[in-house]
Amino acid sequence: MKRNRELEIYIHIPFCVKKCAYCDFLSGPANSDRMESYVEALIREIYAHQEIGKESLVTTIFFGGGTPSILEPRQFERISVALRDVFKIKSTAEITIEANPGTVTSEKLVAYRNCGVNRISFGLQSAENEELELLGRIHTFEEFLESFRLAKDGGVININVDLISAIPKQTVKSWERTLTKVLELEPAHISAYSLIVEDGTPFAKQYGSGCPGEKDLPDEEVEREIYRRTKELLEGAGYRRYEISNYAKEGKECQHNLGYWERKQYLGLGLGAASLIDNTRYHNTVNLNDYIEHAEQLEIIQEDVQVLSKIEQMEEFIFLGLRKMEGISELEFEKQFGNTIETIYGNQLTRFLQEGLLERVNGNIRLTERGIDVSNYVFAEFL
């Protein structure tokens, strides 16, 4: 790797006060001993990355989970110190921490600020308390408000609010209420995901296909309406949709997430964290005991190492890049791969342009409104 190559860092904190009923991310119950050994292991892993640390300039850091805000201020500080010891971090770097309303205290906020955190992402999911309860969240909307104000008063300008639509029993009206309440707070960024009932979660047993609760999931007409209203309300309030599920005020797009879609290099630290370095993808072990035991032995914890072929790189360029509303640059494709996109994917392009799922705008190819609705269908054809 070249000197001072840009690098994003993702840090995984796999603990939660309580796991939500729909969640299939890698996380488990918090236990102070466990957490302490994990933080120690994480720091060992960070120090093991000296080599890559010397060569790179870190542009974004993202603490994700789990619930990163579950960490004690001291623990968070120790991780941050280790990061700054090993990596050169750009002065304007975007540093995000995900926080669960109800786990944030002013003491923690001070620690975040001292460590350079300039962006907080709150997992609100819904402003309706019945919906929060149904999702198995540990907080109410009122508790979120308190955390949000604490953060704002503490000087964090760049705040994201995560929302989930298509919650069982949700209506267009209740979703509109959630959006309106959130818009009143004027966060810089809003992510609006649509619930996916994942196998193996408690939700799957309750709302999965064939289960009695399946009928409580909003039908597709409602879901469509929710999609439409989200765009309408958020754009009306001055947010720009820049990715399938993400809206931001001008200049407040999440640089870290954009990096994923633009195939920037990123290093994942911690349990199960995924990395893309020099066109090689891998992830750390998902076994907590193994991780804690071997964190500094990188070759032991890194799994599923996959060197991407040129074809795979091209495929990723398309199916990741198309998630951005601006789409992909034809010129950039040619620059990176030495062929025009037309020569490689001519058939698919012709077909989707004809079917009105893709469009060409200013040298970019992007999804149309209809294309966004069926984006997986479009992406799959490029594999």
Partner 1 sequence: MAGIDQKKIRNFCIIAHIDHGKSTLADRIIEKTGLLTSREMQAQVLDNMELERERGITIKAQTVRIVYKAKDGEEYIFNLIDTPGHVDFNYEVSRSLAACDGAILVVDAAQGVEAQTLANVYLALDHDLDVMPVINKIDLPSADPDRVIEEIEDVIGIEATDAPRISAKIGLNIEDVLEQVVEKIPAPVGDVDAPLQALIFDSVYDSYKGVIVFCRIKEGSVKKGTNIKMMATGATAEVVEVGYFGAGQFIPCEELSAGMVGYITASLKNVKDTRVGDTITNADEPCEKPLPGYKKVQPMVYCGMYPADGAKYQDLRDALEKLQLNDAALHFEPETSIALGFGFRCGFLGLLHLEIIQERLEREYNLDLVTTAPGVVYKVHKTNGEVIELTNPSNLPEPTEIDYMEEPMVKAEIMVTSEFIGAIMDLCQERRGIYQGMEYIEETRAVLRYHLPLNEIIYDFFDALKSRSRGYASFDYEMLGYEKSELVKLDILINREEVDALSFIVFAGSAYERGRKMCEKLKDEIPRHLFEIPIQAAVGSKIIARETVKAMRKDVLAKCYGGDISRKRKLLEKQKEGKKRMRQIGNVEIPQKAFMSVLKLDEKK
Residue 224 or 360 having the CB closest to partner 1: 224
Indicate whether 161 belongs to the interface with partner 1 (CB under 8 A): no
Dihedral over alpha carbons 201, 206, 207, 210 (to 10 degrees) = 110
Strands (DSSP E) contained in the chain are 5-13, 15-16, 28-29, 56-65, 88-99, 119-125, 158-165, 189-194, 240-243, 246-248, 266-269, 274-277, 280-284, 302-307, 328-329, 358-361, 364-367
In angstroms, the Cα distances linking 357 to 319, 344, 366, 372 are 14, 18, 9, 8
Residue 341: enclosing H or E segment and its boundaries? Answer: helix 341-354
Q: Lay out the site mask for partner 1 across 24-53 (x = CB under 8 A, - = otherwise).
A: -x----------------------------
73-102: contacts with partner 1 (CB under 8 A):
none
Taking CB under 8 A as the criterion, the residue among 15, 76, 122, 260 binding partner 1 is: 260
The residue assigned the tokens 């198309």 is 322
Q: Establish if 324 lies at the interface with partner 1 (CB under 8 A).
A: no
Copy the structure tokens of residue 366: 């992007």
CA 207 to chain centre: 24
Considering only 85-93, 120-128, 315-323, 326-334, which stretch makes contact with partner 1 by CB under 8 A?
A: 315-323
**Between 155 and 212, whose beta carbon lies closer to partner 1?**
212
Nearest to 53 by CA among 283, 267, 326: 267
Number of residues that bind partner 1 (CB under 8 A): 41
Smallest separation, CB 353 to partner 1 (Å): 14
Phi, psi of 276, rounded to the nearest 5 degrees: -130, 105
Q: Which of 55, 240, 281, 359 binds partner 1 (CB under 8 A)?
A: 281
d(CA 66, CA 34): 14
**Residues from 48 through 77 that contact partner 1 (CB under 8 A):** 64
| Sole binder of partner 1 in the list 274, 292, 325, 344 (CB under 8 A) | 274
CA–CA dist 195, 27 (Å, integer): 18
User: Which of 312/334 has CB closer to partner 1?
Assistant: 312
DSSP 8-state code for residue 27: -
DSSP character for 70? G
The SS3 of residue 209 is coil
Q: Is 369 in the site for partner 1 (CB under 8 A)?
A: no
Q: Which of residues 216-245 bind partner 1 (CB under 8 A)?
A: 220, 223-224, 227, 244-245
Shortest Å, Cβ 145 to partner 1 = 25
Q: Which stretch binds partner 1 (CB under 8 A): 79-87, 130-138, 268-276, 325-333?
A: 268-276
Which CB sits closer to partner 1, 70 or 150? 70
CB of 106 to partner 1, least distance (A): 28
Closest to partner 1 by CB, 129 vs 348, is: 348
Nearer to partner 1, 362 or 380 (CB): 380
Distance CA 166, CA 201 (A): 16
User: Is the Cβ of residue 146 or residue 312 nearer to partner 1 in the bound state?
Assistant: 312
Among 292, 320, 344, 353, binds partner 1 (CB under 8 A): 320
How far apart are the C-alpha atoms of 83 and 27, rounded to whole Å? 22
Characterize 268-294 residue by residue with b for buried, 16 or more Cβ atoms within 10 angstroms of its Cβ, and e for exposed. bbbbbbebbbeeebbbbbeebeebbeb
Q: Which residues bind partner 1 (CB under 8 A)?
A: 10, 12, 25, 64, 193-194, 196, 220, 223-224, 227, 244-245, 260, 266, 268, 273-276, 281, 283, 304, 306, 315-316, 319-320, 323, 355, 357, 372-377, 379-381, 383
